[in-house]
Structure 1
């Protein structure tokens, strides 16, 4: 999806789209559904069908926003206030998960 040139030139480089159907949303949904377990990147790839090379990038960007955590090779959904805020917004059907708090989107 194209973006405006002023956004391209002046926008944040680390924007993350958390809308349903995106790779970050898919990973968060998978980890949240399995919140009693931690997974390797390969296991996340196999469970979500996200390309193997993309899983690490997605996880790193989610970790930057404290929505996931990891130890060694294993990744799990985050616990804490930030994740609760994200989950509440998702449950409410809010579009605010795409605002500056989580990273801008093209809207």
Structure 2
């Protein structure tokens, strides 16, 4: 499947799997003059409708999408830019320093609690 040149130019790792949230946000952002029903988003993104529903609800809690039953639309552009910048920063830090291991964090916290 082809990708747009914007994605080609700006993404570091094109071989990685795009998340459902990213696919949904990309679709809604490219159609920012419209609002869609859950089933329409599912059909356009190729994601199961139940999965779309749970992803949309998570995105709504982060103010990345808007909802007026039964329609969904892209959220505030400023909020989307902030979330994207945060995601890009975290990805850069993970590339440079490696990812965090939550088990290591828990073990360290347990050790500190024993002192």
User: In the alignment, which residue of structure 1 is the partner of 2:28?
Assistant: 31
Tell me the TM-score normalized by structure 2. Answer: 0.59
Higher relative contact order (CA 8 A, sep 6+): 1
Q: Which runs of 5+ in 1 are unaligned?
A: 1-18, 100-104
Long gaps (5+) in structure 2:
1-15, 94-98, 102-115
1:79 and 2:79 are equivalent in the alignment: no
- Select which of 53, 64, 72 maps to 1:56: 53
**TM-score of the superposition, structure 1-length normalised?**
0.63
Bigger Rg over Cα: 2
RMSD of equivalent CA atoms = 2.8
Dislocated runs of 4+, deviation >2 Å: none
Q: How many residues align?
A: 80
The SS at the match of 1:94 is: helix
Q: Tell me by how many angstroms 1:79 deviates.
A: 1.4
